[in-house]
Every structure is written in C-alpha cells, then in structure tokens.
C-alpha cells in the first residue's frame, strides 16, 4: 500500500526540492493529491519552477480589506468578516485560480445553520479543483501500488487441505497455486479500480510447527520481505499488531467432530431390540408370564414404537468426554482458543495437523485403537472433513465463536481488499466459490450399505409378503371345499 495524499508544511526552498523529486518519481500524477500550507504558498511567487506543482492545492493568507474584490464579495454576501485563507489551485506554469476560502467566522447565509468554526467555502463563482493528472476526481487517500513493481504475495507451501490451498511445484511447467483462498484473492484483486500486478511466491516452513510458521509468515510481511500473505491464515489479535488483516472470508469459530456409530437400522433383528431378545426363558412359569404379557403388550406399544424409531433414524455419536481421547491441532491459535473449554481433560492429547486423510484415519481408528474419539479444529477444516466423509463423522455440540476465521495479511493501512471481500460476500461471489471448492467433494458414502444383513432384511420382508399371500390363497381354497395343498412359501 502507498500514501497518495501529502500535506507539505516546510520552508519554500525545501518545498521546491520536494516537488521536483516528487515529479521525477511519478508522484504528481492521477490518484495523488498535494496540499500546501501557507508557509510555502505565501512565497509561491519566489519559486523558480512551478511545473512540478501541476494540480496542487494551497492555502494562502488572505486579508479581505486589502483585496480589490472586497466590494464584489460583499455584493455576493459570501463572506462578511474574518477570512483567514484563500484556497488556490496551482496549474503549474499556467498560473493559479481561486477555488474557495477558509474562514473562522461567517454569516448564517453561508453557514446554513452550522455553528461557528473553521470551514471551507466555495460557490458557483469559483473554479473546480483540477488534481494532478488533469482530473477532477478526488483522490482516495491510500491505494494499492500502481507502479511497475510487482507485488510479491507469500503463499504457505503445504497445509494438508488442498481444497483451501494447494501449491504444486513442477520444475518444467512452473509453480501453480490453487484452492479456495487463492480464488478469493484473485477475485478481490480483480475488483480493484487500478489493476495491480502481483505474483505468488511459495513460503517454505516446517510442517511440525505450522502455527509458529504462519505467525512467522505474518511477521515477514511486517518486515516488508513480502507485500502480502495469502492462505488459511487465522486472524488473531497478536498478529494484528504487525499487519492489517482483511475481512474474514471463511466461517469463524472452532468445533468438535466425532465418528458416528454403525447404523442399527441395518441390523436384521432390530425389531427385537426393544424387547431384549438376549434374555432367555428358563422355566415354565416365565413362559406363562410371557404368554399373559402378550395380552397387555399394547400398553407398551407406544414406548416400543418410539424406541425402535430412534434406533432406525437417529445416528449415534461415539463420544464420551470423560473417557475419550481428544485430538487437536498443535498450532497456538487453536490451542489457545480451546485451553479453557470444559471437555478437555488429562486424557486429551494433541495431534499434528498434516493431511485431511490423517484426520479421517485417527477418527476411524478411535481412541481404543491408537486414534482419537473426536477432533477439535477451526470450522473451515471441520467443514471440509464432514463434507468429504459425510456419513462417517458429525459435529458434537455447537460452534464456539473463539476464533476470527481466515484473512489475508497486508501491511498496515491496507483497506481496499477488505472492501472487495465485502462486495464478494454481498453479490454472492464468495458463496459461489465456496460451492465450487467444497460442495463438489466426492461424498464417501458408507461401504456397507449393501451388507448381508441388509440383503437378508430385504429377503425376509419379501418372503413375509409371499407367506401372507400364499396363506390367504389356501384359506380361500379350503372354504370352497377343495383339498388343501401345501405349496412352497418361497417359490
């Protein structure tokens, strides 16, 4: 980022040298603004070369009682007393023109009801300000650099989640950068008024200390080794001391994901589960009780139905916060955010954030087999894990808003990209990119959908229908006086 508005308050000799160097550096062009105080403007006539002051605006001491235009200003009712400065627009070698006055006290006709104070006044009788570059468009203050310099954008080389960020290095075909973070940055840069050249540069780091590496990346931007940093960089208060982050372009907070237990609805004998078929009858008395119980079974009908429905429809989450081992990333961002959460205990352990597949493997193995029962991570990572393995894992509890999401790191004073990200969110482009990179993941449906139990269950239901049909047919034949023929119920 570079400053585009300058206020000059120096001696005339020094001001002249500043203006010459500014012109040589291309800083007296469109997008810049130069405001000169009376300290230099009062001696403007002593400056040797005004060509470097094209489009400058200056304040010059003004005594209305000595002005030849005193009567005209009275007739205009423009200013009646105490005009401190006149404001002029310098047009280089073509001279200057008056564009307004700066006054400390004015009449109600000019103030339009405002209280006393220092204000700038102009009217239709004054000229429009022509800024450097010959334009009347007012400069915005700070802007992305539009010089020939190409911005160097640092990108973390590997993060284990290619949907968010991926860097492919090929010595023959060059380096390619892809992922959701890259596409959001490109879309934001494309929306700037001035096209800014930039290039992505891989940032090497030790994958065993990702959190520290990302903090170091932010610090490198502060040291101006890079012009910006793009990636899955979490916005934190400490990092914001060194750089300005853009608005977050991802979900905020952390969550916990756990493995789902196998579906009971695929069990052939699920309809007997509420009746505890494992209990054996050991005496005739117990058998008699069971027979009598059949007559009152309708009393338990509603309870049976509710229990069976729950078993067949509700996916159970395999997690016990008191006994299970919790996995969490080793980075300081997540560690600090979850340090005071109640479900962490002495059984919890840290796992290293590497690959998405390793997250899935640790959850699949479970804490009893060397894995973990749940993983705590930032929401962007959890969303990718759940969307890729939709039927295996589920959220536990609710999202805890203790992190600020991902943002791009820029030197202090950079606000243009944040405005562009806000526009991307408002016009739906950000959501479109999310759908493109996350919703297109291949959903990993459970491989045991067509298990033997499922086939047996389907066969049992089909045969039951056949039994009923054949039985009704034989009863009908018997009623007509014909002999009863035993036929195959499964034929």
Per-domain residue ranges of the chain: 2-121, 148-250+405-449, 264-313
pLDDT band with cut points at 50, 70 and 90 for residue 77 = very low
Average pLDDT, stretch 234-246? 91
Rounded CA separation 156/344 (Å): 30
Higher pLDDT, residue 207 or 254: 254
At residue 444, the pLDDT reads 47
Rounded CA separation 334/376 (Å): 8
For 449, the token pair is 């959908």
pLDDT band with cut points at 50, 70 and 90 for residue 436 = confident
At residue 275, the pLDDT reads 55
Is the per-residue pLDDT at 16 higher than 80? yes
pLDDT band with cut points at 50, 70 and 90 for residue 183 = very high
Is the per-residue pLDDT at 446 higher than 50? no
For 110, the token pair is 């000019």
Average pLDDT, stretch 445-461? 50
pLDDT band with cut points at 50, 70 and 90 for residue 226 = very high
| Domain 148-250+405-449, CATH number (from 3.40.1280.10, 3.40.190.10, 3.40.605.10, 3.30.530.80) | 3.40.190.10
Is the per-residue pLDDT at 352 higher than 50? yes
List Cα–Cα distances, 160 to 275, 357, 387, 388, in angstroms: 48, 9, 16, 14
At residue 249, the pLDDT reads 92
Rounded CA separation 432/37 (Å): 50
C-alpha 147: how far from its chain's center?
A: 29
Q: Which of 261-270, 337-346, 380-389 has the highest mean pLDDT?
A: 380-389
At residue 304, the pLDDT reads 61
pLDDT band with cut points at 50, 70 and 90 for residue 310 = low
- Within 8 A by CB and 6+ apart from 294, the residues are none
Contact 489, 460 (CB under 8 A): no
Q: Which of 40-54, 123-137, 288-302, 368-382 has the highest mean pLDDT?
A: 368-382
Is the per-residue pLDDT at 125 higher than 80? no
CA-only gyration radius of the chain, Å: 38
Average pLDDT, stretch 376-395? 83
pLDDT band with cut points at 50, 70 and 90 for residue 154 = very high
Higher pLDDT, residue 118 or 317: 317
At residue 223, the pLDDT reads 92
Is the per-residue pLDDT at 140 higher than 60? yes
pLDDT band with cut points at 50, 70 and 90 for residue 101 = confident
At residue 491, the pLDDT reads 38
The helix (H) or strand (E) run that includes residue 102 is strand 96-103
- CATH code: domain 2-121 is 3.40.50
Is the per-residue pLDDT at 48 higher than 80? no
Higher pLDDT, residue 294 or 70: 294
The pTM (predicted TM-score) of the whole model is 0.59
Least reliable range by pLDDT among 149-163, 176-190, 233-247: 149-163
At residue 322, the pLDDT reads 54
At residue 78, the pLDDT reads 45
At residue 111, the pLDDT reads 33
* Percent of the chain predicted with pLDDT > 70: 57
Average pLDDT, stretch 451-476? 54
Do the domains spanning 2-121 and 148-250+405-449 agree at the CATH topology level? no
Is the per-residue pLDDT at 90 higher than 50? yes
Is the per-residue pLDDT at 308 higher than 60? no
The mean predicted confidence, pLDDT, of the chain is 72
């Amino acid at each position: 980022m570079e400053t585009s508005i300058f206020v000059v308050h120096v001696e005339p000799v020094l001001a002249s040298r500043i203006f010459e160097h500014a012109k040589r550096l291309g800083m007296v062009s469109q997008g810049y603004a130069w405001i000169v105080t009376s300290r230099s403007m009062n001696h403007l006539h002593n400056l040797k070369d005004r060509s470097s002051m094209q489009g400058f605006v200056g304040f010059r001491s003004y005594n209305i009682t000595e002005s030849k235009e005193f009567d005209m200003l009275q007739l205009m009712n423009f200013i009646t007393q105490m005009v401190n400065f006149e404001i002029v627009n310098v047009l280089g070698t073509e001279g200057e023109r008056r564009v307004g006055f700066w006054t400390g006290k004015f009449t109600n006709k000019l103030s339009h009801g405002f209280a006393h104070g220092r204000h700038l006044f102009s009217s239709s009788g004054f000229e429009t300000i022509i800024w450097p570059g010959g334009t009347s468009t007012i400069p915005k203050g700070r802007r992305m650099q539009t010089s020939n310099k190409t911005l160097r954008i640092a990108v973390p080389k590997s993060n284990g989640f290619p949907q968010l960020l991926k860097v492919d290095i090929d010595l023959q075909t060059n380096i390619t950068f892809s992922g959701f973070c890259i596409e959001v940055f490109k879309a934001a840069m494309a929306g700037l008024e001035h096209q800014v050249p930039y290039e992505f540069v891989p940032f090497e780091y030790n994958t065993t200390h990702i959190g520290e590496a990302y903090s170091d990346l932010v610090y490198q931007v502060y040291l101006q080794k890079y012009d910006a940093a793009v990636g899955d960089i979490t916005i934190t208060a400490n990092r914001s001391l060194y750089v300005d982050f853009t608005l977050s372009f991802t979900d905020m907070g952390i969550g916990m994901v756990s493995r789902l237990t196998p579906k009971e609805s695929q069990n052939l004998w699920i309809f007997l589960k509420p009746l505890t078929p494992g209990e054996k009858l050991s005496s005739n008395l117990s058998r008699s009780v069971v027979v009598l119980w059949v007559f009152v079974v309708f009393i338990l009908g509603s309870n049976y139905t509710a229990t069976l429905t729950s078993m067949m429809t509700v996916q159970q989450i395999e997690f016990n916060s008191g006994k299970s081992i919790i996995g969490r990333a080793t980075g300081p961002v997540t560690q600090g955010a979850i340090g005071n959460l109640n479900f962490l205990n002495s059984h919890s352990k840290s796992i290293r954030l590497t690959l998405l597949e390793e997250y899935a493997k640790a959850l699949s193995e479970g804490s009893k087999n060397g894995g973990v029962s749940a993983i705590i991570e930032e929401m962007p990572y959890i969303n990718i894990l759940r969307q890729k393995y939709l039927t295996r894992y589920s959220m536990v509890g609710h999202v805890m808003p203790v992190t600020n999401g991902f943002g791009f790191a820029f030197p202090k004073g950079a606000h243009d990209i944040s405005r562009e990200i806000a526009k991307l969110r408002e016009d739906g482009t950000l959501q479109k990119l999310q759908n493109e990179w996350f919703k297109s993941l291949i959903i990993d449906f459970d491989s045991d959908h067509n298990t033997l139990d499922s086939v047996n269950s389907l066969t049992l239901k089909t045969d039951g229908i056949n039994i009923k049909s054949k039985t009704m047919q034989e009863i009908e034949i018997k009623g007509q006086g014909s002999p009863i023929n035993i036929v195959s119920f499964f034929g």
